[in-house]
């Protein structure tokens, strides 16, 4: 089976990322080292073929900044929570692996969601099911179904934030439709309770 040629525009983000990783690994961002990293990146992408990462072609900076601030806040809060649990409860802490269905089938979005969640202390992606798509998260201090549901909501909120930042317009429309359906369900529920 012949390999489909990939345009430089499609492959450029991957090449840039590989060069940045090369510089970070050597802790040397000098022009000579980065040039050598670029040569290595080109050789790697030619010898070890991977399917191209489909980019949406959009990045919303105005949504990315608050997302980053909230993410840093979550990292700090989770660090203190893990420290508290380790000191006061130690091995008695109950953990669980929770399946979280995702909205997006995009490899980029699934990977980004998994990385963001794994960077928050107390949660780690242990498996990804690309076909569904779903991620399996090892969560700390999961004692009940309510705790598992809370973790699912946090992961799906993270995915929604990433979709708003760099998802495709189709994914954003699906997210808006889902939010509209949820709002309507809440209104109907409120009307039902008011009628009792």
Q: How many CA atoms lie within 13 A of 69 on its CB side?
A: 5
Regarding pTM above 0.95, the answer is no
Percent of the chain with pLDDT over 90: 49
pLDDT digits (tens, 9 = 90+) for 135-149: 999 999 999 999 999
SS3 (DSSP) at 127: strand
Query: What does residue 7 show for φ and ψ, rounded to 5 degrees?
Result: -70, 155
78, 121 Cβ separation under 8 angstroms: yes
Question: Quick one: pLDDT at residue 10?
Answer: 66
pLDDT digits (tens, 9 = 90+) for 39-80: 998 888 778 766 666 666 778 899 999 999 999 999 999 999
1, pLDDT greater than 70:
no
Nearest to 140 by CA among 127, 122, 126: 122
Strands (E) in the chain, as ranges, are 95-101, 123-129, 134-140
Question: What average pLDDT does the segment 127-133 reach?
Answer: 90
Question: Quick one: pLDDT at residue 167?
Answer: 87
- For residues 36 and 22, what is the distance between their CA atoms, to the nearest angstrom? 9
pLDDT digits (tens, 9 = 90+) for 110-121: 989 999 999 999
104, 110 Cβ separation under 8 angstroms: yes
First and final C-alpha spacing in the chain: 66
């Amino acid at each position: 089976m012949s390999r489909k040629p990939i345009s430089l525009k499609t492959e450029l983000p991957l090449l840039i990322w590989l060069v940045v990783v090369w510089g970070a690994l050597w802790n040397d961002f000098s022009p000579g080292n980065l040039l050598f990293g670029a040569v290595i990146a080109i050789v790697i992408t030619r010898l070890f073929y991977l399917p191209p990462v489909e980019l949406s072609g959009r990045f919303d900076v105005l949504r990315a900044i608050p997302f980053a601030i909230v993410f840093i806040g979550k990292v700090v809060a989770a660090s203190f929570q893990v420290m508290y649990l380790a000191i006061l409860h130690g091995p008695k802490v109950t953990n669980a692996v929770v399946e979280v269905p995702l909205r997006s089938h995009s490899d980029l979005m699934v990977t980004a969601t998994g990385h963001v969640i794994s960077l928050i202390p107390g949660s780690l992606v242990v498996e990804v099911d690309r076909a569904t798509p779903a991620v399996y998260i090892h969560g700390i201090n999961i004692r009940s179904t309510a705790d598992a549901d809370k973790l699912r909501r946090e992961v799906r909120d993270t995915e929604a934030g990433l979709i708003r930042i760099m998802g495709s317009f189709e994914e954003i429309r699906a997210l808006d439709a889902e939010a509209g359906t949820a709002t309507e369900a809440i209104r109907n529920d409120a009307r039902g309770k008011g009628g009792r």
